[in-house]
Amino acid sequence: MVDFRLGEEQEALVASVREFAREQVAPVIADHYERKTFPYDLVRQMGKMGLFGLPFAEEHGGMGGDYFTLCLALEELARIDSSVAITLEAGVSLGAMPIYRFGTPAQKAEWLPRLTSGDALAAFGLTEPGTGSDAGATTTRAVLDETTNEWVINGSKAFITNSGTDITCLVTVMAVTGVKDDGSKELSTIIVPSGTPGFTVAPGYSKVGWCASDTHELAFDDVRVPAANLLGERGRGFAQFLRILDEGRIAIAALSVGLAQGCVDESVKYAKDRVAFGQPIGNYQAVQFMIADMEMRAHTARVAYYDAAARMLAGEDFKHQAALAKLYASEAAMDNARFATQVHGGYGFMNESAVGRFYRDAKILEIGEGTSEVQRMIIARGLGL
């Protein structure tokens, strides 16, 4: 029997994160969004709640939970705000998880306690200005100087989340480290601590959405780090990052579901209160049908990411299901944001309204961690095409 009901501990976590989002995030996030400031106090509170340590073992300062538990937290945060949710998602899934999955005991001991506590953030340096979805076309290079036993890194990265905050401690960078026997690029991942000479963080982007999250372009000009900063096996960087991205797509699906459900929440509330032509607009079938469709999309997307997460935790191949969940959930979020704005009319077009922020935040969900086109490619390949 398939059972998607949550256990008692999971229900308790959902309730606590929901309360935090409504009581702590909702009252202040609009101001952060408008001023484009990073919500350090909210991040600090999430750290104290243990959210950054949810899927990590207790020996590394984690909470001993699993990846699905992280997804539940992301969904609840995104029902109120996506900037806070993506800060957690990127900090855990893209920042700490590569070290947890592939790091040496020394690397884990050095970095994970700070990352799992939320005292520090890490970033995932994959995308480059000229490569986009074609991650295999990476041009950033790292050469091993055998005289000093150091990697010398040159290149740049673009659109990197959590890379320039006051508490960012490292960026994991994918770089070309040589040429394989078949002539293809040898790609490896290397840990670059913040503040390393030659590592420059550009000013934050001016973004359409996620305006309270941290995103920068990065430059590496003869950046030197110890050879021991190699993360995982040399030449396995691309495979490692694909694993991280597969997991991350489930997390982005969960975040998308949160935004989609937030659109339902706000629309139901507004439809009950807004009076037009002598009665609440929720009495009109046209509005009822719009909101019913929104609920259908949110529910179906939730089932999709639950399924992908269950397969992942069972040790099964989940790439296909992760792509399905990410594709459907991100497009559901975009559709729901559009419908919620329509339900709210002129008020929905105001940045001060929650649905106005939802509308601006939704589009990136169809782009980040694999565009919708990339997800369709993965799905088609999974069908043998």
Q: Encoding tokens for residue 361?
A: 């935040």
Question: Can you tell me the distance from the alpha carbon of 8 to that of 103, in angstroms, rounded to the nearest whole number?
Answer: 33
* DSSP β-ladder status, 141-145 and 150-161: antiparallel
Alpha helix ranges (H) inside the chain:
8-20, 26-35, 40-49, 67-78, 82-89, 97-102, 105-117, 237-273, 285-313, 319-344, 354-362, 372-382
Report yes or no: 167 and 178 within 8 Å, Cβ to Cβ.
Answer: no
Q: Which of 173, 193, 91 is nearest to 128 (CA)?
A: 173
Q: Encoding tokens for residue 190?
A: 């290397």
Question: Can you tell me the distance from the alpha carbon of 297 to that of 333, in angstroms, rounded to the nearest whole number?
Answer: 8
Question: Can you tell me the distance from the alpha carbon of 37 to that of 212, in angstroms, rounded to the nearest whole number?
Answer: 5
Q: Encoding tokens for residue 187?
A: 């790609």
User: How many CB atoms lie under 10 A from the CB of residue 369?
Assistant: 29
Report yes or no: 66 and 55 within 8 Å, Cβ to Cβ.
Answer: yes
Q: Which of 255, 330, 266, 247 is nearest to 66 (CA)?
A: 247
The CA angle 76-82-83, to the nearest 5 degrees, is 125
Q: How far, CA to CA in Å, does 1 sit from each of 4, 5, 8, 257? A: 10, 12, 19, 24
Write out the catalytic residue numbers: 369
- Longest Cα pair distance anywhere in the chain, in angstroms? 82
**Chain position carrying tokens 């490569």:** 131
Residue type, 260: A
